[in-house]
């Protein structure tokens, strides 16, 4: 019995690390080209997104478990608002994800399957452009010249109210607060070619109700991304991306586990404006290398609708 408990406990650790940033489709491992793109103030964006993530969860080969696979269908609704903040262009986002997950493995030569569906942890984000674009209303924005160099900051928080049950080995929610700080810069060449880079770090609170009455504390997780985008015309662009995450070791009952999340990913995206107010984006990401955790391929389809506040009558 103790061997079984220890085995399940180790599997839980691996899956927790591997999946905690896959569920929401927007996290440190997500590749986000054109993150520093600007828009007029008093703007609103409603986003509906579907993503499919599938692949292996890599674990210690000494465990009596084989072919640990996961397939996640994620539905996301997001709202973005642009506004002026300290005379800078700023945006605030809210992201609400729902995940349908199917997990399958061979444990002690027995094929085992489990499904987990529910709301994942919602996320709030605040971002501000420090350099590159002045905050302007729609009637002024499209006549002004934007700088070639942009510099921005972003802050995110994941709120632990997603579906979580301590009796389950697998959960959609993470039962912990997560905080991200990021900085990014981009440079535009000849108004068509954009080179963009991001640095970010995630901090996590303790999970007190983890498994077998244990507590966990994940160390800081760091990430870097580089993107190359080409703008064919306003509203139509394509990008290729690469990114790496490192760190993120886990403490279980104050004992540090040697399972870092040193993973590398690459991806591509294309976006096209289909009408005055709406657009589509298709993106794909995959892994160069994964030491432990989720080695996934992800396909993302986004639909967005944009509108602006009506000018106030004087």
At 53-95, the pLDDT tens digits run 888 765 544 444 556 778 889 999 999 999 999 999 999 999 9
Using DSSP, how many helices (H) and how many strands (E) does the chain show? 2, 16
Q: Evaluate if residue 13 carries a pLDDT over 70.
A: no
Rounded CA gap, 201 and 28, in Å? 8
Band the pLDDT of 139: cuts 50, 70, 90.
confident
The rounded mean pLDDT for the chain is: 83
Q: What is the structure's pLDDT at 27?
A: 47
Q: Across residues 16-26, what is the average pLDDT?
A: 47
Instruction: Give pLDDT tens digits for 256-269.
Output: 766 666 778 899 99
**pLDDT of amino acid 34:** 94
State the average pLDDT over residues 46-55: 92
Q: Residues 17, 22, 26, CA angle at the centre, nearest 5°?
A: 125
Fold of 2-306: Lipocalin (2.40.128)
- Give residue 8's pLDDT band: very low, low, confident or very high (50, 70, 90): low
Instruction: Say yes or no to pLDDT of 283 above 50.
Output: yes
The domains of the chain are located at: 2-306
More confident position, 259 or 176: 176
Q: What is the mean pLDDT of residues 308-314?
A: 79
Least trusted range by pLDDT, from 39-48, 177-186, 223-232, 295-304: 295-304
Q: Per-residue pLDDT tens for 194-245? A: 999 999 999 999 887 766 667 778 889 899 999 999 999 999 999 999 999 8
Distance CA 213, CA 288 (A): 36
Which SS3 state, helix, strand or coil, does residue 148 take? coil
What pLDDT score does 214 carry?
A: 72
pTM of the model: 0.86
pLDDT greater at residue 68 or residue 156: 156
CA 295 to each of CA 52, 75, 299: distance values in angstroms, whole numbers, following the listed order: 13, 20, 14
179 has pLDDT over 50 = yes
What pLDDT score does 212 carry?
A: 64
More confident residue, 147 or 4: 147
CA distance 224 to 81: 26
Give Cα 244 distance to the centre of its chain: 13
* Residues 273 and 303: beta-carbon distance below 8 Å: no
Instruction: List, for residues 23-44, the tens digit of each pLDDT value.
Output: 443 444 578 999 999 999 999 9
Return the pLDDT at 24: 40
Q: How many whole angstroms separate alpha carbon 122 and alpha carbon 25? A: 11
Residue 130 confidence (pLDDT) above 80: yes
Of residues 107 and 251, more confidently modeled:
251
């Amino acid at each position: 019995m103790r061997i079984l408990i220890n085995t399940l406990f180790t599997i839980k650790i691996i899956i927790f690390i591997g999946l905690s940033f896959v569920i929401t489709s927007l996290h440190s491992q997500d590749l986000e080209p054109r993150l520093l793109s600007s828009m007029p103030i008093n703007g609103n964006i409603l986003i509906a997104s579907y993503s499919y993530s599938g692949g292996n969860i890599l674990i210690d080969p000494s465990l009596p478990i084989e072919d640990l696979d996961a397939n996640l269908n994620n539905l996301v609704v997001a709202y973005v608002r642009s506004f002026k903040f300290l005379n800078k262009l700023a945006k605030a986002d809210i992201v609400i994800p729902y995940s349908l997950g199917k997990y399958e493995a061979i444990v002690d030569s027995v094929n085992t399957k489990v499904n987990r569906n529910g709301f994942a942890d919602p996320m709030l984000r605040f971002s501000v452009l420090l350099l590159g674009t002045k905050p302007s209303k729609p009637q002024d924005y499209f006549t002004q010249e934007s700088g070639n160099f942009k510099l921005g900051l972003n802050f995110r928080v994941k709120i632990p109210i997603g579906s979580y049950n301590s009796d389950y080995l697998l959960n959609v929610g993470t039962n912990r607060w997560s905080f991200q700080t990021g900085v990014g810069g981009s440079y535009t060449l000849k108004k068509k070619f954009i080179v963009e880079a991001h640095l970010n770090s995630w901090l996590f609170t303790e999970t007190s109700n983890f498994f077998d009455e244990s507590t966990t504390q994940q160390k800081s997780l760091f990430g870097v991304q580089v993107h190359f985008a080409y703008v064919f015309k306003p509203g139509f662009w394509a990008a290729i991306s690469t990114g790496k995450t490192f760190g993120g070791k886990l403490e279980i009952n104050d004992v540090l586990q040697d399972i870092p999340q040193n993973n590398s990913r690459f991806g591509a995206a294309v976006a096209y404006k289909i009408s005055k107010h709406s657009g589509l984006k298709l993106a794909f990401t995959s892994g160069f290398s994964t030491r432990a955790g989720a080695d996934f391929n992800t396909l993302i389809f986004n639909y967005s609708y944009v509108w602006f506040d009506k000018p106030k009558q004087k």
